[in-house]
Amino acid sequence: MTHASFASDNNSGVHPRVMQALAQANAGHHPAYGDDPHTARARELFAEHFGPQAQVFFVYNGTGANATALAALVQPWQAVICCAGAHINVDECGAPERVTGAKLYAEPGRDGRIGPEAVDRHLHCLGFAHHSQPGAVSLTQATELGTVYTPDEVRAVAERAHAHGLAVHMDGARLANAAAALGCSLREISFDAGVDVLSFGGTKNGLMFGEAVVFADPGRARAFPYIRKQATQLHSKMRFIAAQYAALLEDGLWLDNARNANAMARRLAEGAAALPGVRISRPVQTNAVFAHMPPQAARALLQKQFFYIWDQAAGEVRWVASFDTTPADVDAFLADLALALEHPGPDGGVLPGGHVSAT
């Protein structure tokens, strides 16, 4: 496939500046496991963006980041409260439960978000030996549905959680997109709002591989080096992850990339909404567009464009823009969409694929 894909921001390539950083990190020999100048520079930049007390640890992927971050917060007899549609609940093959030993309490959300009431519903478990003890809350920013938590909404959940001794984790696989949408800094929508541990994603925003686990309080990070190693997430040539993050965080590249992806999603949503037979089904706040369209038209469009069917029964699809999506890419997609709506073809039964989440 040579044209741009709207299936996922995981499908995009690597930003040229990130690729250049990888090439520079490839020169010469450096100490392994993070004792290198590239990792030192990345740590400096994380301190600039998240505060001088923030401690960052690099891992291989988003599932590893979430599972190990939660393992630093909870014990096997505890539970993590999350939205039912959260990536940790739907798309990580039980990794958080396996790595932490803890249970997930999946709460119904509204447009992918949960509020303080999600904490309240499990407070009756505290002190009762027959129930897993709530130990943490996990919020996804931006959510699996492309929506965002405002800083006040994050703070409301964090204050309720902290009042009852629960920690707060944030799955920030698309934190950059959320910050761009809200006009906030990365810190304002995470640590300043009460988040204790953050999984900060880069792969969906121009990196080749690697994610970051960031702690607001170094005290919570004491066991993390051992958790990371035991969970097979310690990269020996860590400079290749760190150098990418340094490129992302320097000179606002993270924000430029996220702004472009969000803008292209808005362009796509506006163009699609103007076509008969398409209804935008979720708020378009970041780089994801959800829409209802006739199944026959979706099937015809899949012959030319790659995307995912989000909900078979509802006829809902998901389109995701990336850091490198261009207006021409969007317009080409819209042209194919219009043609599919005009000439949908015969009813072929069940659409390919099924429910997917924000992978």
Task: Tell me the pLDDT tens digit for each residue of 311-332.
Answer: 988 889 999 999 999 999 999 9
- Per-residue confidence band for 139, with pLDDT thresholds at 50, 70 and 90: very high
51: left (phi over 0), alpha (psi -120 to 50) or beta: left
Q: What share of the chain is helix, strand, coil (3-state, %, to 5)?
A: 40, 15, 45
| Distance in angstroms (rounded) separating the CA atoms of residues 89 and 144 | 11
| Distance in angstroms (rounded) separating the CA atoms of residues 206 and 12 | 8
Amino acid residing at 29: H
Res. 305: pLDDT tops 50: yes
pLDDT value of position 4: 82
| Distance in angstroms (rounded) separating the CA atoms of residues 55 and 337 | 46
User: What does the pLDDT average to over 212-234?
Assistant: 97
pLDDT value of position 358: 46
Per-residue burial over 208-237, b = 16 or more CB atoms within 10 Å of its CB, e = otherwise: bebbbbbbbeeebbeebeebbeebebbbee
pLDDT value of position 355: 47
Res. 90: pLDDT tops 50: yes
Is 349 in contact with 38 (CB distance < 8 Å)? no
End-to-end CA distance of the chain: 19
Task: Please list, in sequence order, all residues whose beta carbon lies within 8 angstroms of the beta carbon of residue 228, skipping any fewer than 6 positions away.
Answer: 57, 59, 68, 213, 234
Is 9 in contact with 287 (CB distance < 8 Å)? yes
Q: Decide: residue 19, CB within 10 A, 0-12 exposed, 13-18 middle, 19+ buried.
A: middle
- Per-residue confidence band for 1, with pLDDT thresholds at 50, 70 and 90: very low
SS3 state of residue 59: strand
- Per-residue confidence band for 94, with pLDDT thresholds at 50, 70 and 90: very high
| Distance in angstroms (rounded) separating the CA atoms of residues 70 and 295 | 39
SS3 state of residue 189: coil
| Distance in angstroms (rounded) separating the CA atoms of residues 229 and 134 | 26
**Could you give the angle at which helices 239-249 and 253-273 cross, rounded to 10 degrees?**
70
| Distance in angstroms (rounded) separating the CA atoms of residues 261 and 264 | 5
Instruction: Count Cα atoms within 13 angstroms, Cβ side, for 333.
Output: 28
Name the helix (H) or strand (E) containing 37. helix 37-50
| Distance in angstroms (rounded) separating the CA atoms of residues 218 and 137 | 19
Distances (CA, A) of 40 to 69, 233, 239, 313: 21, 19, 9, 50
User: What does the pLDDT average to over 209-227?
Assistant: 97
| Distance in angstroms (rounded) separating the CA atoms of residues 307 and 215 | 35
